[in-house]
Chain A
Amino acid sequence: MSSVAQKRGFGATLWDWLTTVDHKKIGILYLLGGGFFFVVGGIEAMIIRVQLLTPNNDLVSAGIFNQIITMHGTTMIFLAAMPILIGFMNAIMPLQIGARDVAFPFLNSLGFWMFFFGGVFLNISWFFGQVPDAGWTSYASLAMASEGHGVDFYAIGLQIAGGGTLLGGINFLVTIINMRAPGMTYMRMPLFTWTTFVASAMILFAFPPLTVGLFLLTFERMFGANFFDPTMGGNTIIWEHIFWIFGHPEVYILILPAFGIFSEIFSIFSRKRLFGYSAMVFATVLIGFLGFMVWAHHMFTVGLGPTANAIFSVATMAIAIPTGVKIFNWLLTIWGGSIKVTTPMLWALAFIPTFVMGGVTGVMLGTAPLDYQLHDTYFVVAHFHYVIVGGTVFGIIAGTHLYWPKMFGTMLNEALGKVTFWFFFIGFHLTFLIQHWLGFWGMPRRVFTYMDGQGWNSANVISSVGALFMAIGITIMVYNIIVTSIKNVRVANDPWGDGRTLEWAIESPPVFYNFAQTPLVRGLDTVYIEKMEGNLSGITPAEPVQDIHMPNGSFIPFMLSLGLFIAGFGAMFRTEEPWGMAVLIIGLVWTFAAMAMRSLKDDLGFYVKKEDILKDMKRKGGQK
């Protein structure tokens, strides 16, 4: 099998993408899927801001407003931010450690299709007119009272998508543990690989509680279980604990990979080694650990008692320490560097003050007595948008610009990138800075409208105008993507000119086996070391050119996920529709048949022949 590009029909291309197990293609699929849901969630955000533009607005009813805020939060967290980050992990991390693929290519594909079908399942609720409306946290007392199948769509959709994420987490962990190139010790791994590692470990331990929580919710709504119903001896607070034991680590799962992307950007565009590398690694691990110790700070007003509140308050504030270590290390990386303010660097520079503001309001909210004042006000909304947008979304957009040439082989337009930045950056602060004051002035979150004469009118107008700016910024970015894709100017290995890690030493996009010869890693920023010593290819091979073992593509992941998708509908309409039970059984049998097919057939992969590799190497005139 040769990697020489051939013209292929639409059908063959589609089949290739449906069956691919190549981590780079799966990365692109995650980016496309996540990007689509990002736009969906963005439209929901715009509707929220238009509804709140004026007092007593009746653009949407209270019920639909609840559905929109629920779907906005759920979509942005589970279907946009996480998949896009997992897309970058897929596309870049194996290249950074010098691997030819991830540890479980089949599971990687399965993870993507489970996320995709889970996301579609969740959003199909709009067409049934029964949309989740209990908030993205879906607190049990609200979820139990929710009529129709909205919350069932939430529970089953997230169950499917969450399963995919868990597979992804295990996959990345094993890839990093087992498949690093010779010489790539843990303390030579690029920061993005480190943050992928820690975020994956957090996924592994945070998602099982979500799985259990969603099952309990499903059982309670569908099979008459009584976990959360106080009249039957249940306890509604159990859901809150389980959800936040998952939910708090989840926000660090979102932010850590963004930290990793920024660390790469600061180092590349300051043209300096990352300052305090080992402290950065330690801080990452510490944040990952402390992330599991603070969940009850979401529940200060539940009444767990002063002792519990005090402990969780202190633990929450402790997280500011490793985060502060990171902030100072980034600043000191820039310090004295030869800075190039490219689009990714612009986002990274804006990220520091923005994220610090979100961090400071986080410490304010972590102060239990103050939280009693601020709980459920717009101050909270402002806080978590400052960290999640100012951290994760800034990181995602910066990463999109940074890694676009590596993933697609063509650069995004820098001028348009900067226009995107200024619109989004100004729009972001317009939208959310004022919301701190809205919170102080007493505006509760999640209200569908408000009365005139409370002093909230102009603040809400400012906020809505800012949202429009952000939408313009994103539209320009989409335009940028389309235009540059059509022009399709091909770029070399290292289009930014200052790449320091292995992904920048191979062509853009890389051949499907990534490295013709596994590289020998001689230190942190190994490509930089090689170049400084006059090796312009950036890579010292660790092995002669030889046959390479690669995995086969498979259609089973798609079919398996489709089976779960079908079973989900059956489970939901099992009792009220005559076809419900049949569909449930068909879906489960389908799923099981796909699993059995995978198990019963040997899948040994194939070998890329040495001659073909030599031919590829000659064609691109790269490493000798």
Chain B
Amino acid sequence: MDLNKKFTPETWPDHPEKATLEAKNKFVGFWLFLGGETILFATLFATYLALKNKGPSGFKFSTQELFELPLVFVMTLLLLTSSLTSVYAMYHLKNYNFKKMQLWLAITAFLGLGFLALEVYEFVHYIHLGFTYDNSAFSSAFYTLVGTHGFHVAIGLVWITLLIFRNSKRGLNLYNAPKYYTFSLYWHFIDVVWVFIFTVVYLMGVIG
């Protein structure tokens, strides 16, 4: 099959993300990769829970006094909304509406960028309080868990930016449709991880 073939909305397949063997492979392979990523984050969560609030003698930081839910709430809103906008993008992908898809993906990227900016602000704020990376086991585990998630967000932003630009002249075809689709899977995954971070790190930190 010619992967660069031009389509119309009528001839565009129902499932462009798995219309070719390469696409099917990418689809299954990426789901499996996310399975591995789940284990990766599970390990980081376990490490965090084991080291939560632990520090040298006279350690003064704890989750209760450190975290502020309003900021984290705004971050959560931004990221959850970006997941929704990526769903809109996938809706337009399936309807072969390239421009609208690109637009929604750009909105997704901006929301993600907002999230990342707030996370950087949050980290800088903690560091000003003296809660530095090498300050205690708790701080190391916290920054590593939340930072790994933030790093995933940053990778996702670079990824989608590259995709938007590389395809701006090409338009939609069966070669790049799976690329968009795997990005959206990745973005949802990051979102799910954040839901767990929000619950386990922040909510359980402040309330528990």
Question: A223 touching B133 by the CB < 8 A rule?
Answer: yes
Instruction: Let me know if A444 is at the binding interface, CB within 8 A.
Output: no
Q: Check B36–A227 contact: CB distance below 8 A.
A: no
Q: B68 within 8 Å of A by Cβ?
A: no
State A232–B59 Cα separation when bound (angstroms): 9
Q: Contact check: which of B21, B32, B51, B175 meets A234 at CB < 8 Å? A: B51
**Known A205-B39, A238-B50: A226·B25 in contact at CB below 8 Å:** no
> Are A235 and B50 in contact (CB-based, < 8 A)?
yes
Instruction: Rank and list the top 5 A-B pairs by shortest CB-CB distance, nearest first.
Output: A224-B134, A233-B54, A233-B137, A225-B140, A208-B40
- Name B35's closest neighbour in chain A (CB-CB): A204
- What would be 19 A-B contacts, judged by CB atoms less than 8 Å apart? A103-B29, A104-B25, A173-B32, A179-B25, A205-B39, A208-B43, A209-B40, A212-B43, A226-B136, A226-B139, A232-B56, A232-B136, A234-B51, A238-B50, A238-B51, A241-B46, A596-B162, A602-B175, A604-B175
By the criterion CB–CB under 8 Å, are A600 and B32 in contact? no
A residues in contact with B199, CB < 8 Å: none
Task: Please pick, from A204, A208, A227, the residue contacting B47 in the complex, using a CB distance under 8 A.
Answer: A227
Chain B positions near chain A (C-beta within 8 angstroms): 3-4, 21, 24-25, 28-29, 32-33, 35-37, 39-40, 43-44, 46-47, 50-51, 54-56, 59, 133-141, 144, 162-163, 166, 170, 175
A207: B residues at CB distance < 8 A: 36
Which residues of B lie under 8 Å from residue A174 when comparing CB positions? Answer: 25, 28-29, 32
Enumerate chain A residues within 8 angstroms of B144, measured Cβ to Cβ.
215-216, 219, 225, 227
| In contact, A600 and B162 (Cβ under 8 angstroms) | yes
CA distance A166 to B37 in the complex (A): 11
**Hey, which chain A residues are within 8 Å of B33, CB to CB?**
170
Q: Determine the chain B residues whose CB is within 8 A of the CB of A171 once the complex forms.
A: 29
A480 at the interface (CB under 8 A from B): no
State whether A602 touches B4 (Cβ < 8 A): yes
* Residues of B with C-beta under 8 A to A245: 43
B residues near A234, Cβ cutoff 8 Å: 51, 54, 137, 140
- Chain A residues lying within 8 Å of B137, measured Cβ to Cβ, are 226-227, 229, 232-235
Residues of A within 8 A of B140 (CB): 219-220, 225-227, 234
Residues on B with beta carbons closer than 8 Å to the beta carbon of A307: none
A211 within 8 A of B: yes
A178 touches B35 (CB 8 A): no
Residue of chain B at shortest CB distance from A225? B140
- Which residue of B4, B32, B40, B138 is within 8 Å of A211 (Cβ)? B40
Q: Which A residues are in CB contact (< 8 Å) with B141?
A: 227
- Contacts A173-B28, A212-B40, A233-B56 known; 5 new A-B pairs at CB < 8 A: A174-B28, A208-B43, A215-B144, A226-B139, A599-B163
Are B51 and A212 in contact, with the CB atoms below 8 A? no
Residues of chain A with a CB closer than 8 A to B39's CB:
205, 208-209
CB pair B134 A103 closer than 8 Å = no
Q: Are B43 and A209 in contact (CB under 8 A)?
A: yes
Instruction: Enumerate chain A interface residues (CB-CB to B < 8 A).
Output: 103-104, 166, 170-171, 173-174, 177-179, 204-205, 207-209, 211-213, 215-216, 219-220, 223-227, 229, 231-235, 238, 241-242, 245, 596, 599-600, 602, 604
Of B25, B43, B133, B162, most buried by chain A (CB within 10 Å of CB) is: B43
Are B28's CB and A208's CB within 8 A? Answer: no
Bound complex: CA A231 to CA B56 (Å): 6
Is A178 touching B24 in the complex (CB atoms < 8 A)?
yes
Distance (Å) between the CB of A98 and the closest chain B CB?
14
Tell me the nearest residue of chain A to B33, going by C-beta: A170
Instruction: A375 to B29: give the CA distance in the assembly, Å.
Output: 41
CB distance from A109 to the nearest CB of B (A): 15
Judge whether A170 and B162 touch: CB under 8 Å.
Answer: no
Beta-carbon contact of A233 and B50 below 8 Å: no
Cβ–Cβ < 8 Å partners of B51 in chain A: 227, 233-235, 238
CB-CB < 8 A to B135: which residues of A?
Answer: 226
Q: Is the CB of B25 within 8 A of A178?
A: yes
In the assembled complex, the CB of A209 is this many whole angstroms from the nearest CB of chain B, namely: 5
In contact, A166 and B36 (Cβ under 8 angstroms): yes
Q: Say whether B36 contacts A233, CB under 8 Å.
A: no
Q: Is the CB of B50 within 8 A of A178?
A: no
A212 and B32 contacting across the interface, CB-CB below 8 Å:
no
Alpha-carbon distance between A205 and B39 when the two chains are bound, in angstroms? 6
Shortest CB–CB separation between residue A164 and chain B, in angstroms? 14
- Provide the residues of chain B in CB contact with A238, threshold 8 Å: 47, 50-51
Q: Which residues of A contact B21 (CB under 8 A)?
A: 178-179
Looking across the interface, which residue of chain A has its beta carbon closest to that of B132? A224
A233 touches B32 (CB 8 A): no
Chain B residue nearest to A242 in the complex (CB): B43
